[in-house]
Amino acid sequence: MGTGLSLNGLAGVWTEAVKRNEPTITFELRNGRGRFLFLMFFDPEDESTKDKLLLFLQNSRQMLHLKLYGAHRKGDFTIYLNEREIDQIKRELAVTESRNPFDIARFIETLNHGIPTSRSLASKIQLLQANKSALRPHLPVILDDHLKTELVGPMELDETRRPREKTLRKLYLYGTQSPEAAASYIETLKKRNCTLRWREPIRNTEDSIPDERG
């Protein structure tokens, strides 16, 4: 399994997201030539995203799916990287080891120290919107019914149900409001115990257009 590498710098933004009931974390870090987009999507009702960190390598356009180990509420976030993942990070950094060997532990430690301690929901939404094309292949993991991208409207839920994050999160990517307005709307929906209804966009084709030429 290899040596565990600590990302305990995540403790601040993770705890903040839990307390605010906005279980989405996004931020970007730069190191040398590398640009690293950190993404976490979690929800008590969604086991598929539990303890998962998506690390998008902006230059090489690769997504690493990493499992986070440890007691997160105690500030413990540990990852294990295999050789393939380390090689992908080296390509992102354009590292050549002709003189000095690459030290993955030191690299992760540097990233860890750069993790922000706080992120507004609006700033998370803005970063997601800016990277929409990069996220497209991974939408089935992030969103419910990812092909339904046209907003229909809100729907109130009964007291036995709660809005799913994977449904509300679509507003981050497909809403027409500003990130600040989207963040405020999501907060209002949760207070009202409402979700959002979506549908697949209607695509016009030549066959579906009536011929009016007589």
| Residue carrying the six token digits 């803005």 | 126
> How far apart are alpha carbons 169 and 19 in whole angstroms?
17
Residues 153 and 53 in one domain: no
**DSSP letter assigned to residue 199:** E
Give the domain extent around 206: 120-214
Contact predicate 174/147, CB 8 Å: no
Indicate whether 113 and 147 sit together in one domain. Answer: no
Among residues 119, 148, 163, which one ends one of the domains? Answer: 119
Give the H/E segment covering residue 190. helix 179-191
Pairing verdict, β 5-6 and 78-79: antiparallel
pLDDT digits (tens, 9 = 90+) for 45-75: 777 778 899 999 999 999 999 999 999 999 9
Q: Are residues 60 and 98 in the same domain?
A: yes
Quick one: 47 and 148 in the same domain? no
Q: What pairs with residue 24 in β-bridges? A: 41
Residue 11 sits in the same domain as residue 113: yes
Per-residue DSSP letter, 136: G
Residues 171 and 193 in one domain: yes
My answer on whether 97 and 151 are in the same domain is no
Tell the burial category of 206 from Cβ atoms under 10 Å away from its Cβ (0-12, 13-18, 19+). Answer: exposed
Does residue 156 sit in the same domain as residue 108? Answer: no
Last residue of a domain, one of 85, 119, 153: 119
- pLDDT of the chain, 214 residues: tens digit per residue: 667 899 999 999 999 999 998 889 999 999 999 999 999 998 767 777 788 999 999 999 999 999 999 999 999 999 999 999 999 999 999 987 667 788 999 999 999 999 999 999 999 999 999 998 888 888 888 888 989 999 999 999 998 999 988 899 999 988 888 999 999 999 999 999 999 999 998 876 554 445 444 4
